Amino acid sequence: MQGIPLTHILFVSTALFLIGMYGLFTRRNLITMLMSIELMLNSVNINFVAFNKYLYPDKLDGIFFSIFIITIAAAEAAVAIAIIINLYRTHTSIDVEDATEMKY
Amino acid sequence: MNLSLLIIIPLLTALLVLFGRGLKQVRVISLAGALLQLGISVWLLLLYWQTRTSGNNEAMLFVQNHAWFAELGIHYHIGVDGISIAMILLTASVVVAGILVSWNETNMSKEFFFLLLLLSMGAYGFFISLDLFTLFFFLEVAVIPKFLLIGVWGSGKKEYSAMKLALMLMAGSALVFVGMMGVYQQTHSFDIMAIAKMHIPLEVQKIFFPFAFLGFGIFAALFPFHTWVPDGHASAPTAASMFLAGISMKLGGYGCLRVATFLMPDAAHAYSWIIILLATIAIIYGAFATMMQTDLKYINAYSSVSHCGFVILGIGMLTETSINGAVLQMVSHGLMTALFFAAIGMIYTRTHTRMVAQLGGLLKVMPFISTVFVIAGLCSLGLPGFSGFVAEMTVFMGSWQNPNGWYRLATILACASIVVTAVYILRAAGKTIMGPTGETHQQLSDASWNEKLAAGILIVGIVLMGVAPFLINQLIGTGVGTIMQQVGNVITQK
Amino acid sequence: MSNYSYLYWIPLLPLATFLVLGMFGRKYLSPISGMLGTLSLAGSTLISLFAANQYFFVDGKMNGVYQKITAFRFTWLTFSPNVSIDMSVIVDPISVMMLVVVTFVSLMVHVFSLGYMKGEKRFATYYAFLSLFTFSMLGLVLAGNIFQIYIFWELVGVSSFLLIGFYFEKPSAVAASKKAFIVTRFADLGFLIGILILAFYGKTLDIGVLVERLTSVQSPEYLGIAGAGFLGISVLSWGLSLVFIGGAGKSAMFPLHIWLPDAMEGPTPVSALIHAATMVVAGVYLVARLFPIFSMDVSVMHLITYVGVFSALFAAIIACTQTDIKRVLAYSTMSQIGYMMFALGISHQTGESGLGYMASMFHLFTHAFFKSLLFLGAGAVIHLVHSNDMKDMGGLRKWMPITHMAFLVGCLAISGIPPFAGFFSKEEILTAAFHNSPFVYGIALFTAGLTAFYMFRLYFSIFWKKEASHAYTHGEGTLTMKIPLVILTILAAGAGLLPFSRWVTADGISMETHTDLLFSAIPVSFTALAILLAMYWYKNENDKPARFASMAGGWYRAAHRKFYVDEIYLFVTGKILFPLVGRPIAWFDKNIVDGCMNLLATLTARFSSLIKRWQSGSVQNYALYFFGGIAALAVLFIYLWK
Amino acid sequence: MAMDYLILLKQEWMIALILFVLLFIKLGKDIPNATLLPWINGLLCLNLLSGFFFNQEGMLFGEMFQTNARLVMEKNILNLALLLISMQAYDWLLAHKHLIEFYLLLLTAILGMFFMLSSGNLLMFYLGLEMSTIPVAAAVNFDLTRKQSSEAAMKMIISSAFSSCLLLLGISLVYGMSGTLLFSELPRHLSSAPLYILSFLLLFSGFGFKISAVPFHLWTADVYEGAPVSVTAFLSVVSKASVLFVLVSVLYTVFKPLADTWYNLLYLLSMVTILTGNLFAIRQNNLKRFLAFSSIAQVGFILIGVSAGTQAGMTSVIYFLLIYVFSNLAAFGVVSIIGAVADKHTIEDYRALYKSNPFLTWVLTIALFSLAGVPPTAGFFGKYFLLMAGSAKGNYGLILFASLNLVISFYYYLRIVKAMFMDPNEKPIDHIQVSWLPKLALIICLAGILAAGLANQLYTYIFSLCSGL
């Protein structure tokens, strides 16, 4: 643990963030997109925890923050999934490309 | 005297109109309010005279100054000098005449009169404001009623015209706003009289003068931003045309003078050649464009472009006489063009056409209206005895005092327009008023009492000014003097 | 010196009449409007005569010089401290003389119209307009301020417009009235600019002061105006020429004369008053009024001379070929005014060399009587025949003996046969011309002959030629039509005997003129020959004139078509001004200026629909743009814009 | 001390209380909507009143929660907006099955906003933000059977999740560099180092998303169009206003060291936002969508005021938002009534509305004029005060640009006025009998539109609260 520098962790988190973003941009399935968002949130969590651990170990701001993020991510996911379910009811599809009726 | 009355009475009248039932009540309320306002304006004139003769030489009289948005330096600051009083009298007469002319407006009469009165309130407020922001406020108040008046009660391609008019005027006020901001950020004041005493550096003036002048210029139909004028006037209902040409275009001229030139005199000097160039083009161009028109309203609208060019020319020349002339021309043009539109409206309601070619010999069937038409026409072509002559001659005389050779040329060109004016006025009058009367027009009736009264009020104004110009000259003298103090006299007489 | 300020009643009486008749005449006063107008004008006439008596015989003279008195002054409009329009009443020989002429002729016309216009529906309006005209003309005459002249100048123009277009249902009358107004307006433009120039350099609008300043060679104003130049010509010349253009327009000098013949569309008494006796001589009066200044500039004086003399000849030639009797008279008016004009042009300011000035004024004076007489006579004829064309007339002497006599006297007077009025004034003009320029004298002489020829052509064609073949239902007309004819006949016969040169001269000092028999012999005999020729050709119906006309060929046709001046004007306005200036501007406004505004709107709309794909409806795109936005901003703010 | 928890948090307690009451009602037996609605509105009214008493300044939870007079006033504005929305939704809710859930969602959201407003810490801010977003996303889907509604909700939740990811990334970077999340400590650490700028931009994008500034605005139109009108109104007024309140104070206090950067940023974004909003608005036909774009353009103007960075700037923003509440809610009120009763949503449907519904037409007209900035409506003052404040830095180009864009905005506002007054219509909307609650709401809005501008006391009051930045 001590041997791993902060930058490595940040690389991981950044990569995770970008992967999540890539997923969000390219995946057509809404559930997958939601998962991609979770990936991004988790990458931020990593950031917070890592910063807290490496740079400011005397306070617990970062740790707390990530706990709250997890909580809120859960809430968000709950609402999102509810919405997606309802979307499926109305559109009989959870393909994001099928829900582009409103535009311009 | 409490100048706020000038704003409050139209406002109250407008609100009362909303409670009126049916055309009869509504029009009576409006007329009463307008007459009251006219009375107050005349009373104000008398008071003003009394104060001046008793030796009060303040630049502005009856001043009220209350903090409004004090944190921003905005004050409800009102006061009048002779120029404002002339404008107020003009407005009051045109409003009374306009209401009389629309006596039988059955279509949504309540809203119609409400908007007319609101518009007039904007004009009154504008003319008495001594605070830039208040001035701007009232300037914009006067825009939207026009849009509705033209769009709802107009004729022809009214929606297009109304939209064009509203957008161009808004663009004008946008420019005004930028100019105003420039002045404000430089002086941290909106008080016109106070700003006039501060010195704004020339470079700053040079940046913001064009905005202010151009912005107001759009209101005053400055070439090439005049295109709202023909369409707007032509589509508007009679009273709205009268208001537009009679009052609203004057807002522009007054603003050019009171705001742009008065506050930024150095830049006015620097840019006078452009102003004069544009004004001269407007005068000549408007005159020739008028010559080719076939619709009476278009004729008058284009001629307004030409005539308002004199206002701009007078301001651009920057001599005391020319600015005097510009003010006179504003008043004169306001009365005259309102009369013209009133006459055209009367003709239109009877014959249902405004095309010159379809009219003829109206003098035989409607002598009164025809006489009104001819009087308006003669005033427009600058016949002595009517206001147009006095105003135009003062502009010419003043312009000629500017010793610059090119400006002289501009003056000569402007003078030449009186010939073209004669051509188009006589063509219009000759075809519509004179000549054989059309078969279908044999049975038409002459003016009713309200129309006669409306025309009468305006004619009295025109003739009074034309016969006794010394009165109005005295009235506006002090005001012009104040402006000239600021501008400095360009004449270097040996 | 007594007070002349009562003179302002002279114009004010007609003004009051105009206002009363204009506002209430149609409805309430129609039957008595004629009497009302006539009576008030009679009042004016009496005052003028009284004033003339007082001025010329009682107290006008001081140290042998007729004084220039400003009887009344009232600042009407102040332009700048020293430049203002003052409404003033000026009393000097020419203004008093003009007062008499204008009021008197106007009175005659008023009286004549009582009969002539009887039964006309717009009787009251007619008298209102007449009063308006009289008022304006009197104001012009009394003006002591150059701008005041301009004001009344315009008013005169508009009343002329109204009267020419009196028969407004006749398209030709409408056209003629428009033409008259626009052409004179065009000339007035010159006048206006001239005023601007003179006023700017003279620093005043008051004629007296202006004259004083611009005639003393040392004054700074004179040095200023004579020293400044534009296009190689001194500003003084420019100013004066422009003022002269104004005068030329109103006085129908070539090439601004085209409106005058057409103006005959108005009622004939109007032609008598306005387009013969009074208004058209306003140009002459203007030059006379500013004569001291004009005489400072030789080149402008030459301009005046040659324009005058050319117009005299030109009009006389055309007059010989016209068949409309009023048009003949109109051209003769133009020709006679040409005389007055060139007489002024060859005159000088002082002493004997000021003869031309005196002669010009004298001719103006006599011309007013005989020309109004001729017009009223023609009016009586037209009243009877209901036609203007001489072909419809002939042998009328039996039907209208009084008119016949009057017309004959008028013709003799205008031809310059002694002892009729025209002889004396024309004699002076010719004398002045003879002493100044033989060339001008020659043309003037020839013109005098032509005048006699065409006037008698007219006379014989109307009253002799064929025997009257048809019976007329009524006689010469009412008493009110006969009385003015008689009075004017007497004046046309006798006015020349007045010692005019004692009263009206350029410098106010009386001068004596002599009738030199030897000198008169040439013009008189020449004129007599011309009358005989006219008699030979026109007294009886024959084909001699027609033969001569076909001999002259193209020349005759050109003269008959008035030398195509109208066509040139029509070409300039109809083919150049309207299609090449007016229409392009209207097009430009509709398509370019308006188009620019519409283009702005269209462009905005186009741009708006161009970027609509941005809002694609796909949430993934939105996120992509979201991220792209941040990335772009980050690049911008971290690397580019610090 | 315990009193502090009661008094400083009074508005939050009040909301929570109402939430509980509603939950109990929900759990209890069915009460007809018609009886319930006046009571709920009464409660909201009480809620609004609560903001006017016992105001104190102070902090709680170790600077995490702070409150002062300005914040209380901002919360009052939000409460007022909520009350008005609720009153206007009367007709729509009367027949709606899930009446109470509607209020639960919106009240929760507003509670989140209160915490966000009062936050003194990035964590608290984040919590408030999310708490104010997620319930609204659910509320957007409130018309469960409408396709558009669910599509809009989907777009909203995905977009907001994405934006909060980026926001969190920004916060994490700030935290990583400064080690603190407290607003009061952050300024000491901030500098214009690239990473700070990046994290600031990320943070700003979170704000930008909520206030729909370009280029973070793309969700706005679709969501506004799809959502029930009342929710749209809530989104466009309440949620936007709350974030703007926070944005102003955060920029002016926390990010003061980065003033140059955010000034330039706002300069740029305001121009782009105004232009984009205008250009899209001129071609819209659906009124809700139209109002969405018009509100985007409005935000552009607000950003100009924000960019001033002075007391006048902050005042003008708050003042404008107050006016915006009245104007926009008046517009949405009419749209919601007509949508609920006549089910008409496009400009074509509104043609000749004046003939049958003069009252509604006048309200909508005046509201549109206020949005356009026409005197004597308050919008005029609001808008021009923003520009005045913005011009203090001498950026006249921006002012000119904005003023000219006002002309474009005029066009589209007037287009609707034109449709209502001037265009003929064969099948005009029938006369609508407006219930008393919505009518009252509209009249309040109207009064606000007319009075808020002319009454200078309001401005002075706000100005005094904005001191001590």
Q: What letter represents residue C321's amino acid? A: T
Which residue from C378, C544, C527 is spatially nearest to C454, judged by alpha carbons? C527
User: Taking CB atoms and an 8 Å cutoff, what residues of chain D touch C636?
Assistant: 268
Which chains have 3 or more CB–CB distances shorter than 8 Å to chain A? Answer: C, D
Q: What is the DSSP letter of A3?
A: T
Query: What whole-number distance in Å separates Cα of residue B452 and Cα of residue B346?
Result: 10
Q: Which helix (H) or strand (E) holds D389?
A: helix D378-390
| Average pLDDT, integer, range B127-151 | 91
Ranges assigned E (strand) in C104-232: 229-230
Q: CA-CA distances (angstroms) from residue D37 to B492, D45, D106, D334?
A: 80, 12, 15, 19
Contact D197 C637 (CB under 8 A): yes
Question: Which residues share a beta bridge with C40?
Answer: none
| Average pLDDT, integer, range C307-335 | 87
User: Taking CB atoms and an 8 Å cutoff, what residues of chain B touch C168?
Assistant: 361, 363-364, 433-435
Counting residues of chain C whose pLDDT is more than 70, the rounded percentage is 98
SS3 string, B92-138, reads HHHHHHHHHHCCCCCCCHHHHHHHHHHHHHHHHHHHHECEHHHHHHH
Q: Which of C619, C625, C630 to mutate to test the interface with A (most CBs of A within 10 A)?
A: C619
Other C-beta atoms closer than 10 Å to the C-beta of C599 total: 12
- Model pLDDT, residue C257: 85
Average pLDDT, chain A: 91
Query: What whole-number distance in Å separates Cα of residue D5 and Cα of residue D9?
Result: 6
Burial class (CB in 10 A: 0-12, 13-18, 19+), C581: middle
Angstroms from A59 CA to nearest CA on chain C: 30
- Model pLDDT, residue B493: 36
B421-431 pLDDT tens trace: 988 898 888 88
- Model pLDDT, residue B381: 87
Task: Inform me whether the C-beta atom of residue D455 falls under 8 Å from chain B C-beta atoms.
Answer: no
Give contacts of C 566-625 with A, CB under 8 A.
Answer: 612-613, 615-620, 623-624
Question: Confidence class of residue B492 from pLDDT cuts 50, 70 and 90?
Answer: very low
Question: Confidence class of residue B337 from pLDDT cuts 50, 70 and 90?
Answer: very high
User: Taking CB atoms and an 8 Å cutoff, what residues of chain B touch D417?
Assistant: 147-148
Contact C168 B437 (CB under 8 A): no
Please enumerate in sequence order all residues whose Cβ is within 8 A of that of B471, keeping only pairs 6 or more positions apart, or say none.
B464, B465
- Model pLDDT, residue D369: 93
Q: Which of D192, D201, D274, D412 to mutate to test the interface with C (most CBs of C within 10 A)?
A: D201
Task: Inform me whether the C-beta atom of residue C606 falls under 8 Å from chain D C-beta atoms.
Answer: no
Q: Which two tokens stand for residue B324?
A: 């005097």
Which residue from A73, A103, A69 is spatially nearest to C620, judged by alpha carbons? A103
Contact A61 D158 (CB under 8 A): no
* pLDDT for residue B494 is more than 50: no
Task: Inform me whether the C-beta atom of residue D168 falls under 8 Å from chain A C-beta atoms.
Answer: yes
Angstroms from C587 CA to nearest CA on chain D: 27
Contact C617 A96 (CB under 8 A): no
Q: Are D337 and D88 in contact (CB under 8 A)?
A: yes
Burial class (CB in 10 A: 0-12, 13-18, 19+), D145: exposed
- Model pLDDT, residue A1: 53
Contact C638 D282 (CB under 8 A): no
- Model pLDDT, residue D331: 94
Angstroms from D236 CA to nearest CA on chain B: 26
- Model pLDDT, residue C276: 79
* Below-50 pLDDT ranges, chain D: none
Other C-beta atoms closer than 10 Å to the C-beta of D62 total: 9
Contact C623 A104 (CB under 8 A): no
Question: Confidence class of residue B491 from pLDDT cuts 50, 70 and 90?
Answer: very low
Task: Inform me whether the C-beta atom of residue A80 falls under 8 Å from chain C C-beta atoms.
Answer: no
Give the rounded distance of the alpha carbon of C93 from its chain centre: 21
Contact C220 B398 (CB under 8 A): no
User: Taking CB atoms and an 8 Å cutoff, what residues of chain A touch C613?
Assistant: 104
Query: What whole-number distance in Å separates Cα of residue A76 and Cα of residue C22?
Result: 89
* pLDDT for residue B29 is more than 80: yes
Placement of tokens 């007219």 in the chain? C458
Which chains have 3 or more CB–CB distances shorter than 8 Å to chain C? Answer: A, B, D
Q: Sketch the domain layout of chain B as residue ranges.
A: 271-494
Burial C298-330 (b: 16+ CB within 10 A, else e): eebbebbbbbbbbbbbbbbbbbbbbeebbbbbb
Contact B184 D387 (CB under 8 A): no
B296-311 pLDDT tens trace: 899 999 999 999 999 9
- Model pLDDT, residue D322: 93
Lowest-pLDDT range of A86-90, B117-121, B256-260, C438-442? C438-442
Task: Inform me whether the C-beta atom of residue C591 falls under 8 Å from chain B C-beta atoms.
Answer: no
Burial class (CB in 10 A: 0-12, 13-18, 19+), C449: buried
C198-251 pLDDT tens trace: 888 888 888 888 888 888 888 888 877 777 777 778 888 888 899 999 888 888
| Average pLDDT, integer, range B352-363 | 84
Placement of tokens 């913005």 in the chain? D390
Contact C620 A99 (CB under 8 A): no
D219, D265, D268 member nearest C622 (Cβ): D219
Closest CA in chain A for residue D154: A83
Task: Inform me whether the C-beta atom of residue D148 falls under 8 Å from chain A C-beta atoms.
Answer: yes
Give contacts of C 89-118 with D, CB under 8 A.
Answer: none
* pLDDT for residue C476 is more than 80: no
| Average pLDDT, integer, range C135-161 | 89
Query: What whole-number distance in Å separates Cα of residue B112 and Cα of residue B98?
Result: 11
Angle, helices D147-178/C619-635, rounded to nearest 10 degrees? 30
- Model pLDDT, residue C468: 58
- Model pLDDT, residue C469: 57
Which residue from D342, D329, D310 is spatially nearest to D432, judged by alpha carbons? D342
User: Taking CB atoms and an 8 Å cutoff, what residues of chain C touch D280?
Assistant: 608, 611-612, 615
- Model pLDDT, residue B128: 92
Range B446-449 contact pairs with CB under 8 angstroms and sequence separation of 24 or more? B446/B365, B446/B366, B446/B367, B446/B368, B446/B369, B447/B346, B447/B366, B447/B368, B447/B369, B447/B372, B448/B103
User: Taking CB atoms and an 8 Å cutoff, what residues of chain C touch D198?
Assistant: 634, 638
- Model pLDDT, residue B35: 93
C288-297 pLDDT tens trace: 888 888 888 8
Average pLDDT, chain C: 84
Q: Which of B15, B112, B157, B170 to mutate to test the interface with D (most CBs of D within 10 A)?
A: B170
| CATH node for A6-97 | 1.10.287.3510
Query: What whole-number distance in Å separates Cα of residue C114 and Cα of residue C108?
Result: 10
| Average pLDDT, integer, range C59-75 | 80
Handedness of CA B9, B457, B127, B208 (dihedral sign): positive
More confident residue, A4 or A45: A45
* pLDDT for residue C143 is more than 80: yes
Q: CA-CA distances (angstroms) from residue D353 to D359, D364, D427?
A: 10, 10, 10
Query: What whole-number distance in Å separates Cα of residue B29 and Cα of residue B16?
Result: 7
Q: Are D237 and D226 in contact (CB under 8 A)?
A: no
- Model pLDDT, residue C398: 76
Q: Are B354 and B295 in contact (CB under 8 A)?
A: yes
Backbone angles phi, psi at B448, to 5 degrees: -90, 175
Q: Are B422 and B291 in contact (CB under 8 A)?
A: no
Report the SS3 class of residue C501.
Answer: helix
Query: What whole-number distance in Å separates Cα of residue D412 and Cα of residue B286?
Result: 31
Contact D396 B182 (CB under 8 A): yes
Report the SS3 class of residue D109.
Answer: helix
Report the SS3 class of residue D143.
Answer: coil
Query: What whole-number distance in Å separates Cα of residue B487 and Cα of residue B263?
Result: 9
C387-415 pLDDT tens trace: 777 777 777 777 788 888 888 888 888 88
Q: Which two tokens stand for residue B71?
A: 């944190």
| Average pLDDT, integer, range C294-318 | 88
Alpha helices in C464-542 (DSSP H): 479-494, 500-503, 517-538
Burial class (CB in 10 A: 0-12, 13-18, 19+), A85: exposed
DSSP for B369-418 reads: HHHHHHHHHHHHTT-TTSHHHHHHHHHHHHHHHS--HHHHHHHHHHHHHH
Contact C614 D218 (CB under 8 A): yes
- Model pLDDT, residue D372: 92
Task: Inform me whether the C-beta atom of residue C634 falls under 8 Å from chain D C-beta atoms.
Answer: yes
Q: Give counts: helices (H), strands (E), chain B.
A: 22, 2
D32-87 pLDDT tens trace: 888 888 899 999 998 888 888 888 888 888 888 998 889 999 999 999 999 999 99
Query: What whole-number distance in Å separates Cα of residue B481 and Cα of residue B52?
Result: 14
Report the SS3 class of residue C62.
Answer: strand
Contact A91 D147 (CB under 8 A): yes
Closest CA in chain B for residue D467: B71
Report the SS3 class of residue C633.
Answer: helix
Query: What whole-number distance in Å separates Cα of residue D389 and Cα of residue D379?
Result: 15
